[in-house]
């Protein structure tokens, strides 16, 4: 009887201890906690990267993790990192790891960054001069604009299209330029000034140029080639001393 009683006490004592240790040994890290850690890291990275741009709206979506994934529960907060050089924009893999017990994995995710960018409101042909009515601001995901984008309509007003642009097209850097006021091969007024003296002669533009650009011009009176600055339509300005300089 004493043996049976002792055995019963032993079994009851073990029953009180084993369940806790068994649960601890088999506890797994929830997939939601892993996804949340990845999402928090991307939100923090995106907020830091786009800080100061109030027009930006950031969204993070974490890919579905394999439901069969059973990692032991981490006794410390999960750690996260991004691959070297990775930007919080578009598809990105977030490293999530546990130090105790040791395990790690990459979580697929996507960061969308939406902001208003300049878009063509109507279709215009190559060479057309842009007006404010030709342009509009629309929200776009910057991850879908690898070629860049523009955010200020006023910067494009008065610019000349370098290629045909259709309605709805996002305006890219370099798609428009200042109109060329001097055309290669055309007759231009070559204006030279120094002190109180000003001279105007006829010249032939050897290159096209926009306002403020430097172009070479042949002085038709002397046949000499000089260089000046485009000052207006058909007008090139230079210093009086350089009027007869050979280039």
pLDDT > 90 in the chain, percent: 74
Classify residue 223 as left (phi > 0), alpha (psi -120 to 50) or beta.
left
pLDDT in tens, 79-118: 999 999 999 999 999 999 999 999 999 999 999 999 999 9
The pLDDT of 139-160, averaged and rounded, is 95
Query: For 12-16, 46-50, 52-56, 172-176, which range has the lowest pLDDT when averaged over its residues?
Result: 12-16
Asked if residue 6 has pLDDT above 50, the reply is no
Q: What are phi and psi of 37, to 5 degrees?
A: -65, -40
What pLDDT, on a 0 to 100 scale, did the predictor assign at position 21?
46
Query: For 25-39, 60-74, 229-243, which range has the lowest pLDDT when averaged over its residues?
Result: 229-243
Query: For 153-157, 168-172, 226-230, which range has the lowest pLDDT when averaged over its residues?
Result: 226-230
pLDDT in tens, 176-217: 998 889 999 999 999 987 777 788 899 999 999 988 899 999
| Residue 42 · residue 59 · CB < 8 Å | no
The pLDDT confidence band at residue 240, using thresholds 50, 70 and 90, is confident
- Please report the domains of the chain, with CATH numbers, ordered by start residue: 31-113 (no CATH), 117-177 (3.90.1210.10), 180-242 (2.30.30.760)
Mean pLDDT of the chain: 87
What pLDDT, on a 0 to 100 scale, did the predictor assign at position 243?
61
Model pTM above 0.75: no
């Amino acid at each position: 009887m004493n043996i049976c009683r002792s055995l019963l006490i032993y079994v009851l004592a073990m029953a009180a201890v084993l369940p806790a240790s068994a649960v601890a040994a088999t506890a797994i890290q929830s997939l939601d906690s892993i996804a949340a850690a990845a999402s928090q890291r991307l939100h923090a990275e995106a907020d830091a990267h786009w800080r100061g741009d109030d027009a930006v709206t950031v969204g993070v979506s974490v890919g579905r993790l394999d439901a069969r994934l059973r990692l032991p529960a981490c006794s410390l907060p999960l750690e996260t990192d991004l691959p070297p050089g990775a930007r919080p924009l578009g598809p990105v893999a977030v490293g999530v790891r546990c130090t105790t017990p040791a395990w790690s994995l990459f979580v697929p995710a996507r960061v969308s960054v939406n902001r208003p960018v300049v878009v063509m409101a109507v279709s215009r042909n190559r060479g057309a001069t842009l007006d404010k009515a030709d342009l509009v601001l629309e929200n776009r995901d910057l991850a879908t604009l690898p070629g860049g984008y523009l955010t200020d309509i006023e910067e494009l007003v008065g610019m000349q299209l370098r290629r045909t642009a259709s309605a709805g097209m996002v305006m890219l850097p370099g798609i428009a330029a200042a109109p060329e006021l001097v055309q290669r091969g055309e007759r231009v007024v070559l204006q030279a000034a120094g002190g109180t003296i000003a001279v105007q002669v006829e010249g032939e533009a050897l290159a096209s140029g926009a306002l403020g650009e430097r172009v070479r011009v042949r002085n038709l009176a002397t046949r000499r080639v000089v260089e000046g600055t485009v000052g207006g339509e058909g007008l090139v300005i230079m210093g009086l001393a350089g009027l007869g300089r050979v280039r």
